[in-house]
């Protein structure tokens, strides 16, 4: 039942029918001192899909995300984004690539001393030489895109609810019209209704903007609601499939995850 990194379905193709892998990981190894976190991780993420990354606590999901975006250097193997090896880039090349992806870290990582609009303008100031008025206009469009009311733009992060802070973080991640959106546990800390609304927003953005989404999550509802494929980090490697193929996996962690009470409830909600 294990699928190879390139054998799973996707919604995007290159001319000639070949799917375009915007992220390609091969033979990835990560070691911190004596602790081996990844050992032989392979993965393709195709343009236009939502890939959910799940796995037990401490299995190395966030580390994998950070390695892909060039924040942590792996101990071995190769990671390509848009065909470029992100493990060997100099600072300027990383900066250029950063304008093609957006990242929403778990806590939103907003600057507390800046308003929502000012937060959204940070990547614009860093990467785009635009007049201030135009940057503010773009920031206002992003506020509306993520479903925040217009008056949220003038507020500071401490004046927003947890769900609104996530949306503000998402607006900032979308500031430069990225091709890939990286999300680290986007629904963590949200109530079920807020989490479902956030999932719906991500699904809508994917469809309307053609985004590729790489999402670390623990949230089974998100997997069923918006993920095209799921990668399970287990025994230092990835098992990649869909909700339909993974429920048939024999591995005890995957069986417990998908067949436990929360897995059954998420599946029933989808049916
Ligand atoms: N910079 C680092 N130096 C040393 N060890 C690290 C570093 N970053 C992460 N680790 C270790 O790597 C392992 C994987 O961490 P990671 O944060 O990726 O887990 P995770 O799967 O995202 O967990 P969770 O679901 O609990 O957030 C952990 O044991 C962590 O302590």
**One-character DSSP codes across 21-48:** EEEEEEEEEEEETTEEEEEEEEEEEETT
Cβ of 58 less than 6 Å from ligand 1: yes
Cα dihedral 131, 137, 140, 142 sign = negative
pLDDT at 11: 42
Instruction: Report the separation in Å between the CA atom of 91 and the middle of ligand 1, taken as the mean of its atom positions.
Output: 24
Q: Are 114 and 122 in contact (CB under 8 A)?
A: yes
- The residue whose CB lies within 8 Å of the most ligand 1 atoms, and thus the one to mutate among 28, 31, 37, 231, is 37
Tokens of 209: 């903007």
210-248: per-residue pLDDT in tens?
A: 999 999 998 888 888 899 999 999 999 999 999 889 988
157-190: per-residue pLDDT in tens?
A: 999 988 899 999 999 999 999 999 999 998 888 8
**Is residue 3's pLDDT more than 50?**
no
The values of phi and psi at residue 28, to 5°, are -70, 135
The gap from C-alpha 207 to its chain's centroid, in whole angstroms, comes to: 15
Task: For residue 4, give the DSSP letter.
Answer: P
**Is residue 257's pLDDT more than 90?**
no
Task: Output 107 or 142, whichever has higher pLDDT.
Answer: 142
Going across the sheet that includes 101-104, the strands are 101-104, 180-184, 212-216, 50-55, 229-234, 237-241
Instruction: Report the separation in Å between the CA atom of 62 and the middle of ligand 1, taken as the mean of its atom positions.
Output: 7
Residue 191 CB coordination number (10 Å): 11
Residues 6+ apart with CB under 8 A from 164: 148, 152
Write down the pTM of the prediction. Answer: 0.89
């Amino acid at each position: 039942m294990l699928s190879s990194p390139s054998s799973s379905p996707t919604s995007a193709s290159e001319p000639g029918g070949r799917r375009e892998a915007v992220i390609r990981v091969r033979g990835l190894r990560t070691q911190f001192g004596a602790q081996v976190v990844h050992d032989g991780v392979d993965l393709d993420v195709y343009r236009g899909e939502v890939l959910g990354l799940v796995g037990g606590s401490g299995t190395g999901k966030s580390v994998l995300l950070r390695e892909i975006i060039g924040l942590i250097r792996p101990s071995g193997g190769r990671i390509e984004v848009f065909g470029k090896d992100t493990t060997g880039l100099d600072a300027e090349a990383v900066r250029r690539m950063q304008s093609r992806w957006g990242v929403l870290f778990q806590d939103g990582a907003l600057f507390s001393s800046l308003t929502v609009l000012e937060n959204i303008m940070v990547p614009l100031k860093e990467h785009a030489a635009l007049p201030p008025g135009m940057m503010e206009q773009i920031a206002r469009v992003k506020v509306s895109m993520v479903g925040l009311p217009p008056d949220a733009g003038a507020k500071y992060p401490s004046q927003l609810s947890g769900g609104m802070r996530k949306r503000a973080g998402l607006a900032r991640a979308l500031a430069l019209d990225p091709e890939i959106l990286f999300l680290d546990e986007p629904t963590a800390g949200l109530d079920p209704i807020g989490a479902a609304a956030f999932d719906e927003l991500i699904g809508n953005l994917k469809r309307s903007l053609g985004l590729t989404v790489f999402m670390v999550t623990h949230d089974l509802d998100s997997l069923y609601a918006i993920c095209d494929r799921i990668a399970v980090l287990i025994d230092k490697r990835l098992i990649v499939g869909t909700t339909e193929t993974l429920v048939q996996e024999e591995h005890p962690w995957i069986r417990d995850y998908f067949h436990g009470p929360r897995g059954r409830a998420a599946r029933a909600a989808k049916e």
